[in-house]
Amino acid sequence: MGIIRKHDTTLIRIFKGSKTYKNITTDNFLVANITNDPLAFVRYTFSEVLPEDIQTIYSQEREFPVLKDAQSWVAFECINTKITPYSLVAELRPVMGHVNCCYPKAPNRGLNALIEATIHATRYKMHGEEKYLELINFYEDIINKCGGEREKEALRLLRTYL
């Protein structure tokens, strides 16, 4: 999900229909897991997280799941949520966070292209428009040229969801 930082405010815009949308409207709570694993982007966009990939965090107020392999995660309370016909916009107030690992990693065009392709795939699933398939093909060329084996495997996985 795209978390937006505007001056001193952190926001998220969620389109209707996703589980995250439902969670925010019922619990006012969200956990952002930060990863640069190409396969995680595709897997967790299109399928349920497997129980063995989850760690449960117990805090004073609640328990919640995080991804074991996330580089870091932040749990947010969602406040001032505004509902529009197609989406909601919520302000995120951090309540807890954790850093599992941090290593310097150069930006990679293949990973960036995989992320773009995954976003277009979610739009294709939503609207079924051909133009999104063309955009995915465009990013596939970059993944094949600049990506590593994991980006290529993630693209193959992405194609199974189309």
Footprint of ligand FMN (CB under 6 A): 1-2, 13-15, 18-20, 41, 45, 115, 118-119, 122
Q: How far is the CB of 42 from ligand FMN (least distance, A)?
A: 8
Q: Please report which helix (H) or strand (E) contains residue 11, including its range.
A: strand 9-15
Q: How far is the CB of 2 from ligand FMN (least distance, A)?
A: 3
Assigned token pair, 131: 């133009």
Residue closer to ligand FMN by CB (options 52, 60) is: 52
Residues 134, 155: Cα–Cα separation, whole Å: 14
Q: How far is the CB of 17 from ligand FMN (least distance, A)?
A: 7
Residue closer to ligand FMN by CB (options 39, 119) is: 119
Contact call for residues 39 and 78 (beta carbons, < 8 A)? no
Q: How far is the CB of 113 from ligand FMN (least distance, A)?
A: 12
Residue closer to ligand FMN by CB (options 58, 86) is: 86
Crossing angle between the packed helical segments 38-46 and 109-127, to the nearest 10 degrees: 10
Residues 38, 148: Cα–Cα separation, whole Å: 10
Q: How far is the CB of 44 from ligand FMN (least distance, A)?
A: 7
Residue closer to ligand FMN by CB (options 45, 108) is: 45
Q: Which string of b and e fits 75-99 if b means at least 16 CB within 10 Å?
A: bbbbeeeeeeeeebebbbeeebeee
Residue closer to ligand FMN by CB (options 10, 18) is: 18
